[in-house]
Structure 1
């Protein structure tokens, strides 16, 4: 068996193992509990950022679907996480010998030819990449959307492009804002502030893998609505301080039931997870 096949088998085994764990150690999601945010869709049970993962998260009653916004060479916004596509598509087979496999180096017509499901499991063979507009159509009126602006360094103007996409769908924008079902987040401070300037009515969050300092939190509180840190750096003092400064806090990426219970006990506002069903099933 090839190294790729070994990796795929191991990844699927890990996903199934996590499913058994979460189904046997369910954390009930009460109305007053944290929002359940499906990381790249229900990505523990379906190939990430595909229609299958998003639709499954909706069926599992996730409060939000979290996606990743990137841009093709011809200007289409697509839902994809990695800066390059080798890990989750067959791009090297379909387009062998390309100098770059970045999303931004391919047209939408080219991306539509890729298989984004077989890497996860054979039953998802032929699953395609989808546009951000497709994602919006799927979640509209069914669940919330938390969109991450890609941190891939080669992008410029991504905040402007996503703001324009939302403005081009005024009915969705008005309805999602009224229902509290829309948010944007970024690891890039410039992208977050740029988006906030363009659409200040849309809640904006700053992602952080490290624990933010108090000075950073005070600065963020002057414009940001959310601080979204890695759960491993989150404790009661951080949650309380974020709330004291008038912001909310969503933690990522929480897949183990004990960690879910611990984060919920701290009073976080949202839990970003690959396994939303472990929080929504009662």
Structure 2
């Protein structure tokens, strides 16, 4: 096992265990309100992030860290290696006690994602990937969906919760067309797990726009190492900049582009 993958796993498990403990043993004296909920989950997220940063810094003190929670870079002497951390993907699920959230850690070396870990602490599912070594779930190799068209497929998507007014009508129209053609269209609330599920073949495809790098970097490698593809809305590799992503096997991506290309282009105009 790659030493950085080993450290990423350790950090993800420690953070995930903290999150699971807070989820399973709620404070009975806790007054539920939107303000308190936000403060509560932010406090947990910061603690989880601190645990992750502490473990990485112990073994790799000179590496650079990009934190999802603080939206800032912990600059190190070695800028060629960047750890991208999402301590809690699925914040609203956690707040509402919907058991679907995860910890995501990725390592990029010279602008290429080489290591990825996504950990679901509630199901104790550990998704891992190392460049050229494939994707695994709890040590077992994963392959993606074998679907050849949208008939009978499950697709997953997401919407910008804090920017609902910015969702373009063309994107809503696209979602409607996909929903008509596939068996089901879902929004789970955790981008990291969405992409992990594409890698595992639990869902057949993923489509979302306007994502931030920390939301999908770990999942990106899981998808690619499971034999699937990931592209932007133009069929290229600019998703790290645009945040617009389509993921799935080559057939599913081709079908989406063939039938929805006009709507996809309108989404990014």
TM-score normalised by the chain length of structure 1: 0.25
Q: Whose strand fraction is larger, Structure 1's or Structure 2's?
A: 2
Higher relative contact order structure (alpha carbons within 8 Å, sequence separation ≥ 6): 1
TM-score normalised by the chain length of structure 2: 0.26
